[in-house]
Structure 1
Amino acid sequence: MGNTRKYDEDAVLRARVLLLGSGRLDWRQEVDAYRVLATVSPAAYLPKLVGALTSYRGNHWRTADPEVELALHAEAAEAARRIGVDAPNRTRVLCDTLHSYQRSLFAAGRRAEGRAVCEELAEAGRYGRLAIVLAEEGRHGEAAELYGRHIVPGQADDASPWTLIEWAAELDAAGRREEALEVFAGLVDDSRGRAAADRGPLASLVWKLEQYGRMLRAAGRPAEEAAARREALALLARLAEGGEPVSWSNIQATWVTLLALSGRPDEPAATPEAPSPAFGVHPVHGWSPDVREGHFASIPALEEQTDALRASGDLPGLIVAQRRLTARRALRWETSGRRAEESLRPSFDEGVALARRPAGDPDALVRALADRSMFLLAVKRYEEAHADLAEAVALRPIVTRT
């Protein structure tokens, strides 16, 4: 046998020379060098190894073999775990690396392993992904509890509007309706304050008020629902008259997320064996890759279903299926970056037309008009948005007493 120690020393020397050289290294050379050096000086080189592996994923993922890609994610995660607990930025590096690793596991269909990494992330302080995964598996009570353990409204750094929407959604899905309303009411109040100070768009407040009204109706509080709708209508009138006071961009994500959330009752219930989207979470920013892919892949089958329902004359079934399809199209429209109004508006127009049929349900028409109003708001058709919501409000008598 050869001299193993001598071989290791030679490998370390070659790695040091390679890294100190003036030539540009390709990713393989850099990673191989840090692999060697991390065995003899982990404190200095484990973070560099993680960085090199992360750089590989960032620069070459489009051409990498999926199995190679997953193996590199796993190696980076294992290297990050070995970084000393006292090392600078250790928690951030570990969490960022684990976050990338879990997404690759979900993308590969290895959901149980992905969930385990999310549990590890939660132990390190980043609980959001685990809450979303629990929601995708129908474990709404656990997800709501997880949010509740970490969020102190008005104090927690991570209690962003998005996080509060997610928490309210899980409370509602868990049957804790009053608690969900309390969280969402706080979100609406915060949005009012931001809009009043020109720190938030009026459109975002309108979308939140519309969702709040839906929640109030489901809770049997029609007077408060009517008040929320009247407030939204007044804001739309203001927008129709003068537009947004301050320029905002890329705010359609709020609209499409709340639209999808409003359609959750019509979707199949999620289970660990058949996960579904975590409604209330933006699909790009939060849904697991396998769930997102499956949700968008269901569009052709839903199109066939709506065609069959049109042919059968089942109007109530068609209205429900067509709205489910519209929500999916809206999600795809917003996340694709190709936001031509004419590509999506026909779906909302059809929803209104179906609900206007003589045999249609008045509640379905109110919902279809409100849906189209919120879409028109998203594409800055303020006058038309106001007209639709005004009709919806007129169709539902305003309650003046409880």
Structure 2
Amino acid sequence: MGDTRKPDEDAVMRARVLLLGSDRPSNREQVEAYRILVQVNPRAYLAKLTHALVVRTWDTRDPKRHVALYAEAVDAMRRYGGEVPGGKDELSSALRGYQHALFSDGRRAEGRAVCEELAAAGRYGRLAVVLAEEGRHAEAADLHARHIVPGDTDVSEWTLIEWAAELDAAGRHEEALEVFARVVGDARRTAEKDLAPLAALVWKLDQYARMLRAAGRTAEEAAARRETLTLLARLAEGGEPVSWSNIQASWVTLLLLSGRPAEPAATPEAPLPAFGVHPHHGWSPDIREDWFASIPALERRTAALRESGDLPGLIAAQRRLTVRRALRWETSGRQAEDALRPAFDEGVRLARRPDGGTSALVRALTDRSMFLLAVKRYSGAHADFAEAVALQGDAPPIVTRT
């Protein structure tokens, strides 16, 4: 904030005249004026100063400049927020912007410290994400547990999915299944009342089945697969009973979560995305940028594996690449189905090779089924999933598709 001494009367008068003049002052001039007036009347000018500082960040893409502007907003709230109604909430808002700027500038330790301050004030979500990104999954899971009251019906499904993901990553599989069963149960109830699309329930059931399989609960996994197949058959026959426009974020979040076992383990020195967290709204900006930046290297690796004839390695690398492309497809706005469809088709084609293996084909067919569901190709989604279920021995054999 600079000099903390009270401004002289002439400076205060000039600031007021500037703001009341017929010509609209520039954002820079507004910031200068509010810097002066907030020292005289915080109640009237603190919110205006912090807003003007945030608006200034829109004029530059320089991360360091963003850090400086948000730091000033935080400093102003610390100095004068106690004199303003709702000052604590305004400080939290400024801190959220500040931590985002710090992560964008690669200053993770400082960003984490701000997230810790937010968590101490009850806003723990960002700290849970940062802990997950650094591989501190047990701490992230425990943080959720301390804030989620058992039986609280107001907890969002996104929060429950994040919690289950961290429990699972920490090796606490039964606890993770218990939490995710709640997600599935809630989705069933809303679908039965036509309050949510069936597609959303199908995606959750698919993730639940994966978790059950990993926990060795194969009978329950088979039951979840059969329930999914029944829902897809219903969709193929009559379509969605509930209209929806864009819920692909749910699909891509769970697809990314399914791909976590193929990625290296995250550490504080080599952080990775918080799988299970919505990529666009939840991941730290530095992590999201690195994730997209990894696509060219993975494309080169996939090409090299194709040349070498290493089919298992190629199938694994192709899926990792498809998961990244799916995220880019979903977060870059509405795109044509054909922009992403070839990636899933290639996964199925590779897995259909004689030495591809049944498990790889089941996974590729399931992946494509869930994508086709996301683009409302219900008959194709049902056919792919029915084949996958049959390959697992949970349904009669069916005619395959290419």
| Structure 1 residues 356 and 85: alpha-carbon distance in aligned structure 2, compared to 1, 3 A threshold | same
Give the deviation of 1:283 after TM superposition.
Answer: 1.2
Distance in 1 (CA, whole Å) between partners of 2:213 and 2:7 is: 74
The answer as to 2:116 corresponding to 1:119 is yes
Q: Which residue pairs with 1:325 in the alignment?
A: 321
Q: 2:371 is matched by which residue type in structure 1?
A: F
**Does residue 144 in structure 1 map to residue 141 in structure 2?**
yes
Hey, what's the Cα distance between the residues in 2 that align with 1:6 and 1:304?
61
Deviation >6 Å, runs of 4+: 4-7
Cα shift at 1:48: 2.3
- In the alignment, the residues of structure 2 paired with residue 111 and residue 14 of structure 1 have an alpha-carbon distance, to the nearest angstrom, of 40
**Residue 200 in 1 paired to residue 178 in 2?**
no
Q: 2:377 maps to which residue?
A: 381
Write out aligned runs for 1:350-365 (5 A): 350-365=346-361
Q: Match of 1:49, as an amino acid? A: L
Alignment-derived partner of residue 51 in structure 1: 51
Task: Give the superposition deviation at 1:80.
Answer: 2.0
Describe how 1:83-232 pairs up with structure 2 within 5 A: 83-85=80-82, 87-155=84-152, 157=154, 159-232=155-228
CA distance in 1, matches of 2:277, 2:53: 29
Any gaps of 5 or more consecutive residues in structure 2? 396-402
AA partner of residue 35 (structure 1) = R
CA–CA separation in structure 1 for the residues paired with 2:6 and 2:165: 61
Which residue does the alignment assign to 1:41? 41
- TM-score, L = length of structure 1: 0.94
Give the deviation of 1:109 after TM superposition.
Answer: 0.7
CA distance in 1, matches of 2:211, 2:227: 15
Question: Greater CA deviation, 368-377 or 29-38?
Answer: 29-38
* 1:15 equivalent in structure 2: 15
Rounded Cα–Cα distance in structure 2 between residues aligned with 1:149 and 1:398: 40
Q: Residue deviations 1:180-215, cap 9 Å, x none?
A: 000000000000111111111100000000000000
**2:264 counterpart SS class:** coil
Q: TM-score, normalised by structure 2?
A: 0.94
**Structure 1 pair 238–11 and aligned structure 2 pair: CA distance change class (3 A):** same
Contact map agreement 2:130 2:284 (CA 8 A) in 1: yes
Give CA-to-partner distance per residue, 1:73-115, whole Å, 9 cap, x none.
1111211223334632223211221111111111111111111
Contact 2:81 2:88 (8 Å CA) reproduced: no
What residue number does 2:251 align with? 255
Contact residue 98 and residue 117 of structure 1 kept, 8 A: yes
- 348-357 or 179-188, larger mean C-alpha shift: 348-357
Paired residue secondary structure (2:340): helix
Letter in 2 for 1:185: A
Paired residues, what number?
392
Structure-2 separation of matches of 1:92 and 1:339: 38
Distance 2:8 2:314 in 1: 70
The separation in 1 between residues aligned to 2:243 and 2:312, in whole angstroms, is 40
**Letter of the structure 2 residue corresponding to residue 101 of structure 1:** Y
In structure 1, the gaps of 5 or more residues are: none
The residue number in structure 2 matching 1:370 is 366
Residue type of the partner of 1:69?
H
Q: What residue is the counterpart of 2:77 in the other structure?
A: 80
Distance, in Å, in 2 between the alignment partners of 1:5 and 1:398 is 76
Offset at residue 153 of structure 1 (A): 4.7
Q: 1:308 aligns with which of 298, 304, 308?
A: 304
User: Aligned partners of 2:28 and 2:61: how far apart in 1?
Assistant: 13
Q: How does 1:264-303 map to 2 (within 5 A)?
A: 264-303=260-299
Contact 2:203–2:254 (8 Å) recurs in 1:
yes
Which one-letter code corresponds to 1:291 in the other structure?
A: I
Change (3 A) 1:384 1:153: farther
| 8 Å CA contact 2:42, 2:83 repeated in 1 | no
Task: For residue 15 of structure 1, report the CA deviation from its aligned partner.
Answer: 1.4
1:66 to 63, 67, 77: 63
Is the contact between residue 205 and residue 228 of structure 2 (CA under 8 Å) also seen in structure 1? yes
RMSD: 1.8
